[in-house]
Structure 1
Amino acid sequence: MPKEILTLQHISKSFPDGDRTITVLDDISLTVKAGEFVAIVGPSGSGKSTLLSVIGALLTPTNGKVVLDGKDISGFKPAQLTATRASNIGFIFQSPNLIPYLTIKDQLLLIGKINKISKKANRNKMNELVQELGLQHRVDNYPSSLSGGEKQRVAIGRAFMNDPKIILADEPTASLDSERGRTVVEKIAYEVKTRRKAAIMVTHDERMLDLCDRVLHIEDGKLIEGKSSQKKNHPTPAQT
């Protein structure tokens, strides 16, 4: 049976707003297992980004527990949360946010240096990822010479460099056309399946949902289990 990577137990998140309190997340429970790719969809202001921030240890929940790889991180101190993000969580955002003065190779190697991975292991991981992501001919290029799809593939590689337990993708196709967007989501799905990671993707792009194992809907801070994708189209190495 696949291992449970993430468990949310009755998560709520509220923010003060003048003399009242706004509840953005309302009693959310969720479990995501190794090798599982989950999509979360919902209208603007429904709580998607807040939920991703709580899962990603960027926000502390008002109530409830966040259990990541068997550890309850809800009560972690700031330094512990920073260490958790660095070692266990990989982020992919709308914008790749690449460092303009670093080559693709150095963008990826930097993550290993931050996490104090040995030079040999760090370089081996970088080489493995650029091969899988089809970037081997671009490793010495700077971000300015890459296409939008290539930049997002670098962002995927960067997210996997620290061998995280879970990948969090926030609208990763927002700035891409449909073909490049699908390629990027296929890459995420392939990495999740082959490396047995958990992944959650927040998206408005319903054309990508068949690549996910589950689709969850969030509205007014409440999470609703949607129907599983009817047609799975997880990529194979040949497709990548």
Structure 2
Amino acid sequence: MKQSKLMLDQVSKEFGDGDTSVKVLDCISLDIKSGEFVAVVGPSGSGKSTFLSIAGALLSPTQGRIWMGDHEVTKLSAKKMNQLRLSHIGFVFQSSNLIPYLTVRDQLLLIAKLAGQQGQEPKQRADHLLERLGLSHRKNHYPESLSGGERQRVAIARAWMNDPELILADEPTASLDSERGRTVVQMLADEVKLRQKAAVMVTHDKRMLDLCDRIVYIEDGKLSEQPQPILL
């Protein structure tokens, strides 16, 4: 039986107080196993970004429980939650969010440094990831000299730097054309399968849904499984 990488149990999120409060997520439950690549789709304002922030331990739920592997996230202190993010989660954002004054290689090494890793091993891992993603020849370049597809590949390498169990991707193809976008999502899907990790991708891009194992749909803060690709 495959291990759960991310489990949400009756998770709700409200913003505001009293009569002015707004429920953005309403009793969401979801179990994502090792080796699964899950797409989350839905209209604007449906709660997708809030869902991803809660799944990534960037926001705390108003109610409900969350597990990452054997860790119950909702019981952790702020310090331990930060450590969990560094060691268990990799983020890929809509824009690559690279630091302009760091080279490609240093973007990755910064993640290792934040996690307290030192010595040659992080450098070797960074070089290995860049080679796998076809970026070895760009490792000493700065973000401004990279194409959009190259920047997103660097973002993926950075997300994998600490060998996380879970990747969370927020509209990773939004700034890319169809071919580059598909290449980026295929890389995520391949890594999930190869290393039995898990990934969740929030997307509006229906052209990428066939690369995912499951599609879940959020509307008005409620989640449902969708047996067929959704036309957005």
Alignment partner, residue 92 of structure 1? 92
Q: Could you say what secondary structure the match of 2:105 adopts?
A: helix
User: Could you tell which deviates more after superposition, 34-43 or 111-120?
Assistant: 111-120
Identity over the aligned pairs, expressed in percent? 59
1:52 equivalent in structure 2:
52
CA distance in 2, matches of 1:221, 1:75: 23
Q: For residues 1-240 of structure 1, what are the structure 2 equivalents within 5 Å?
A: 1-16=1-16, 19-227=19-227
Distance (Å, rounded) in 2 between the aligned partners of 1:148 and 1:17: 41
The amino acid across from 2:32 in the alignment is V
Query: Residue 9 of structure 1 aligns to a residue in which SS?
Result: strand
RMSD over aligned Cα atoms:
1.3
1:17 and 1:170 map into 2 onto residues whose CA distance is 28
Equivalent residue number for residue 234 of structure 1: none
CA contact (8 A) 1:6 1:33 kept: yes
AA paired with 1:59?
Answer: L
Of 152-161 and 110-119, more deviation after overlay is shown by 110-119
Q: What code does the residue aligned with 1:142 have?
A: Y
Q: Using the alignment, how far apart are the partners of 1:69 and 1:218 within structure 2?
A: 23
Which blocks of at least 5 consecutive residues in structure 1 are unaligned?
A: 230-240
Q: Describe the SS at the equivalent of 1:74.
A: helix
4+ long deviations beyond 4 Å: none
Q: How far off its partner does 1:211 sit?
A: 0.4
- What stretches of structure 2 of length at least 5 have no aligned partner? none
Contact kept, 8 Å, 1:41 with 1:217, in 2: the verdict is yes
Mean Cα deviation higher: 111-120 or 93-102:
111-120
Query: What is the TM-score when the length of structure 1 is the normalising length?
Result: 0.92
How far does residue 137 in structure 1 lie from its aligned partner after superposition?
Answer: 1.0
Q: For residues 76-103 of structure 1, give each alpha carbon's deviation from its aligned partner in whole angstroms, at most 9, with x where no partner exists.
A: 2221221111111100000111111111
Distance change (3 Å), C-alpha of 1:228 and 1:35: farther
Query: What CA distance in whole angstroms lies between the structure 1 residues aligned with 2:213 and 2:91?
Result: 19
Deviations, residues 3-57 of structure 1 (Å, cap 9, x unaligned): 1111110000011167322111011110011111000000000000000000100
Q: Which residue of 2 aligns with 1:233?
A: none
Distance in 2 separating the partners of 1:161 and 1:14: 33
